[in-house]
Amino acid sequence: MGVMERDLYIVNPVQETAETLVRYEDVSKSYGDVKVLKNLNLNINKGEKVALIGPSGSGKTTIIRMLMTLEKPTSGFIKFEDEYLWHMVNKKGRLVEADEKHLRKMRTNIGMVFQHFNLFPHMTILRNVMEAPVRVLGLTKEEAKERAIEMLSKVGLKDHLDKYPEQLSGGQKQRVAIARAVVMQPKVMLFDEVTSALDPELVGEVLEVIRELAIETDMAMILVTHEMDFAKEIADRVVFLHDGKIEEEGTPKEIFENPQSKRLQTFLSRFLRHEQQIRLSE
């Protein structure tokens, strides 16, 4: 790819196309006086797998929490297909703040897996996965059960349906959490550092499940991750954030093999040094 094309890609003109699923339009987020996201413009296409990388505090988690409707943007718009997430058109045809009903409807398109599994401790694994399809989608118990068993089989937990979360390892719990989100058939799945609370030997099994989902499904995925090899392998696009802004973005090959900005180069070299240290100490 020539230099000009690459430069254009970094600048990211974020044109909306028929393929656009999610679009952050000039989105800023502040906590008090602290601006943690600064005029973010970002397109996520249907089915696209996007990895968000960057130093601690650069705003990665905030980006996906706003999409999950857990944090409200201070300014700007988040478009989801033909609608806005945090806004809706009222009877007079004006764009106004979304009400709870609108947010609830929009949320059904979005699935999220957190660092900590957030399973219901008093429910079996099967009930954990069946609960939302019955309550939110209105499926019958039988339909939800069938769907849940299929999903739990996919993540390798068919033999644990009647167990409770406390009887499972961290890796298994995280696989249940993934099944619980994916069973809703969202259009986009959000993964927020889903392996960072796990013992190192359990990381692989969770990444493997996500990798398979990435290959098999046409859901879009946004992953906040510190697993660079994983990002390299499954992402269509990698977005590097620094201090609340997109500093650089590109294909994994561009970002990891030919980083342009000094900050990205520094970030990656620190990361590699850190990984080498871990390997040496093992």
Interaction site with ligand ATP (CB under 6 A) = 31, 36, 54, 56-62
Residue with tokens 């009903």: 101
Which of residues 59 and 111 has its CB atom nearest to ligand ATP in the complex? Answer: 59
Which of residues 58 and 109 has its CB atom nearest to ligand ATP in the complex? Answer: 58
> What is the length of the chain?
282
Give me the least distance between CB of 33 and ligand ATP, in Å please. Answer: 11
Which of residues 152 and 223 has its CB atom nearest to ligand ATP in the complex? Answer: 223
Give me the least distance between CB of 222 and ligand ATP, in Å please. Answer: 12
Alpha-carbon gap, residue 53 to 242, rounded angstroms: 9
Give me the least distance between CB of 64 and ligand ATP, in Å please. Answer: 9
Which of residues 129 and 189 has its CB atom nearest to ligand ATP in the complex? Answer: 189
Question: CA–CA distance from 121 to each of 30, 125, 126, 131, 173 (Å)?
Answer: 34, 9, 12, 13, 11
Which of residues 151 and 191 has its CB atom nearest to ligand ATP in the complex? Answer: 191
Alpha-carbon gap, residue 114 to 16, rounded angstroms: 29
Closest to 259 in 3D by CA, of 248, 243, 275? 248
Contact 220, 190 (CB under 8 A): no
Give me the least distance between CB of 29 and ligand ATP, in Å please. Answer: 8
Give me the least distance between CB of 180 and ligand ATP, in Å please. Answer: 22
- Burial tier of 6 (Cβ tally within 10 Å: 0-12, 13-18, 19+): middle
Q: Which helix (DSSP H) or strand (DSSP E) does residue 256 occupy?
A: helix 252-257
